Amino acid sequence: MDLNGIEKLELNKILYSAAQYATTDGGKSIITNLFPSTDLREATDRLSVTFECDKLLYTYGAGKIECFSNTSDEIARAKKGSVLSCGELLNCAELLRATRIAYTSIERIDDNEIVFVRALTKNLYFDKGLEEDITEKIISVDNVSDFASESLYSIRSKIKNLNAKIREKLSEYTSGKDSEYLQEGIVTIRNDRYVIPVKAEHKSHVRGFIHDRSKTGATFFIEPEYILELNNELIALSIDEKEEVEAILKALSNRIGTISEQLTANIDVLYRLDACYAIAEYGYKHKCARPKINNRGYINIIKGRHPLIDKNKAVPVSLELGGDYNFLLLSGANTGGKTVTLKMTGLFCLMAACGFYIPACDGSSVAIFGNVVCDIGDSQSIEESLSTFSSHITNIIKICDCADENSLVLIDELGGGTNPDEGQALAKAIVKHLIDGGVKGIVTTHFTPLKEFAYTLGGIENASMEFDSDTLKPLYSIKIGLPGASNALAITRRLGMGAKILADAESYLSDGARNFENVIRRAEESRIEAERKLTEISLMQTEWKQKLEKINAQIDELNREKEKINRSARIESRRIISERTQKAEEILAEIEQIFKKEELRERDLIAARTLKNKLNDSAYEEESDRKKSVDFLPATVQNIREGVFVYVKLMDCRGQVVGFNAKKDEAEVVCGSLKMHLKLKDLLLIGNEENQQKQIKVVKKLPRSMPVLEINVLGLTVPEAIYELDNFIDRAVTDNLEEIKVIHGVGTGKLKSAIAEHLKKHRSVDSFRLGKYGEGETGVTFIKLK
């Protein structure tokens, strides 16, 4: 892999940025020293580890590696028998804790996709008992806990009591009659022994051992004779304390030494795992996706963003390479994003080879190359006497020598920095050489002959960075198949160049160059306009499709409401006819019973005549009901207004006008919960007596009582029960009931079975069930209506 290419593509900046997410110095070092893999299997494994770490962190909430110090030296010394200090032992405890957390956080997760990380951590060794012993016995980097051992606790208790006893003794001296001999009434320590400051002229008045004198000679620090033994005892206890602390530290150090090899191995594993977690976190924070990788040289970047450009400012770019063509000749205006696209393509391949996700959409593909070589930027060297052209061509010579079918070549402004005629000729030859060698790559150019050359050569495709000819600003998107105009004169005009200079510049252009640029520019403008129109048409199509779906839904709702109203009217009619017929049959049956008598009396004839009159009265009442029908007038622009009630012909129902549009000759009518826009020809306005000659008769519906929710058919035969049940269901449908109940009892079960069989075939029944506990159980049936 070419180091110069890696540096030019700024992979080191990506590695440094990702390293900041690591918690350990070792993890940071691993990331910054990562080198792109040239092996597809290894790169695949690296991406799989990143996938697993991403899942562990952001799906299962596993914690990152706990921060710990590098204790390799301390562990090595402990292995040799050295006694570690308190701080060094605490560092070892940190390592044990980080190991334990890393191991348990992964082992608790039951996921068959976690393979590589589990293999990495399965041999981690931790000793929770040793970890707790260290943290409990050592309370700071230079202090052991009093409770580290019973012996230490006893010694320190004695030291504490002895210190208090000595201070008490000395306080008697400093506050008694001999206090006048003291320079200050305080107790101090010299050579680890308690002393008092005595004035020089009174040192002979204090019996004891002189330990020190002040710099001025005015004060002597004397250990009084009567606390000499106490100080000696204190020194002896201090020695005992030091030996006990040393024994505690040695015991803990020996335990570290016995597992030194496991702890050293732990450090390496935790550093690697820390680096993997950091790479996964980098991908998550930068909204990256896992790329598909291959070793065929195929690249398909979908809405990729250069990771070193602010994601809120970067414009996504898509490109494809290595499928139908191996080379892209990228042209277009300056500042249009050609160089950024060039770098992004190479950088994405290097990132994937290091195990990084890339900032692009899901489904993006990149290739793992044996070598990524590039010539980007100005590499002129004063020391080596290289001009811009010389430095470029030196690089390109190396590229031509080393590039093969497993290489990705990225060249910015090929053939630039010299005579344009010679430069474009050289560029053609270099491109042809690379294509003949099966190399994959991208070349940027402003040379018109090179753009024309790409049309005649196989294996290479023209591509352009889009440019808005109206605003003269780049659009930062790629179009494959068309070269891009440089638009140098247009951009110069926008930046303020004088008109005369620009006119002269245009006159100096060759006819061929001018015509080619004009053709490209017009083709690009036409394509952009066509795409804009296509977008508008697509939006309109979507909008009208949504409106059509809404209209169809409204029509379906109207049809359902109409069917419901018609069904209710049919049921009501059948109910009225059934009631009148039943009443007439009863009257006729009574008359028939009268005339069956062998001898008719006058009172029988009177009763029969009364029944006949009752039958006539019933017919008269029916006719009267018809005469009491509601009167309607044809609805017109003159008589329609808000608030009036109308008869809707299409729906066969009554509604109220809530709005009227005279221009469209239609009214907005509310029927129950349904609001409709209807033409006046479909409406009849409720009229009055003076308009009888124009009126239409519509029978008013008979008033109904409150809906009944259940029916009792106990004691009825099967035919009688079925007849009553049908009438009951019809009334329930008319009343818009959702569920009703039939009480049929248990008995022999014949009636229950007959009702069940009848309900299975009934068109108004959606479902039915027997009662539950507390509802009547098998003695009742609950029916759900459609």
pLDDT digits (tens, 9 = 90+) for 16-44: 999 999 999 999 999 999 999 999 999 99
Mean pLDDT score of the chain = 81
- Please give the pLDDT value at position 97: 94
User: Three-state DSSP class for 742?
Assistant: strand
- Please give the pLDDT value at position 383: 40
For residues 506, 511, 512, 517, the Cα torsion angle rounded to the nearest 10 degrees is 30
- Please give the pLDDT value at position 652: 67
Confidence check: pLDDT of 106 > 50 = yes
CA–CA dist 601, 390 (Å, integer): 142
Confidence check: pLDDT of 691 > 50 = no
- Please give the pLDDT value at position 300: 94
64: left (phi over 0), alpha (psi -120 to 50) or beta: beta
- Please give the pLDDT value at position 565: 77
Confidence check: pLDDT of 626 > 80 = no
- Please give the pLDDT value at position 627: 42
Name the one residue in this structure whose structure tokens are 């010694």. Answer: 155
- Please give the pLDDT value at position 539: 86
193-199, long-range: CB < 8 A, 24+ apart: 193/223, 193/231, 193/234, 193/235, 194/166, 194/167, 194/170, 194/223, 194/227, 194/231, 194/234, 195/221, 195/222, 195/223, 196/170, 196/221, 196/222, 196/224, 197/221, 198/222
* Backbone φ and ψ of 410, nearest 5°: -125, 115
Q: Which of 709, 687, 714, 690 is nearest to 698 (CA)?
A: 687
What's the rounded mean pLDDT across residues 242-258?
A: 94
pLDDT tens digits for range 409-426: 998 888 776 667 787 888
pLDDT tens digits for range 62-93: 888 999 988 999 999 999 999 999 999 999 99
User: Three-state DSSP class for 55?
Assistant: helix
Confidence check: pLDDT of 694 > 50 = no
CA–CA dist 143, 245 (Å, integer): 9
pLDDT tens digits for range 348-383: 999 999 999 999 999 999 999 999 998 886 544 434
Q: pLDDT class for 498, splitting at 50, 70, 90?
A: confident
Q: What angle do CA 579, 582, 587 make, to 5 degrees?
A: 125
What's the rounded mean pLDDT across residues 451-457?
A: 80
* Backbone φ and ψ of 583, nearest 5°: -65, -40
Q: pLDDT class for 734, splitting at 50, 70, 90?
A: confident
SS (H, E, C) 442-467: EEECCCHHHHHHHHHCCCEEEEEEEE
Q: Beta partners for 304? A: 317
Share of the chain above pLDDT 90, in %: 29
CA–CA dist 530, 482 (Å, integer): 15
- Give the least confident one: 117-131, 137-151, 760-774: 760-774
Confidence check: pLDDT of 103 > 90 = yes
Confidence check: pLDDT of 139 > 80 = yes
The answer for residues whose C-beta is within 8 angstroms of residue 170's C-beta and 6 or more apart is: 187, 194, 196, 224, 227
Cβ–Cβ under 8 Å, residues 696 and 632? yes
CA–CA dist 292, 42 (Å, integer): 14
CA–CA dist 731, 40 (Å, integer): 76
Confidence check: pLDDT of 459 > 80 = yes
Give the amino acid at 524. Answer: E
C-alpha separations of 282 from 19, 46, 290 in Å: 9, 15, 12
Share of the chain above pLDDT 70, in %: 81
Confidence check: pLDDT of 333 > 80 = no
The answer for residues whose C-beta is within 8 angstroms of residue 383's C-beta and 6 or more apart is: none
The answer for residues whose C-beta is within 8 angstroms of residue 281's C-beta and 6 or more apart is: 21, 57, 64
Cβ neighbours around 390 below 10 Å, total? 16
- Please give the pLDDT value at position 688: 46
Q: pLDDT class for 384, splitting at 50, 70, 90?
A: very low
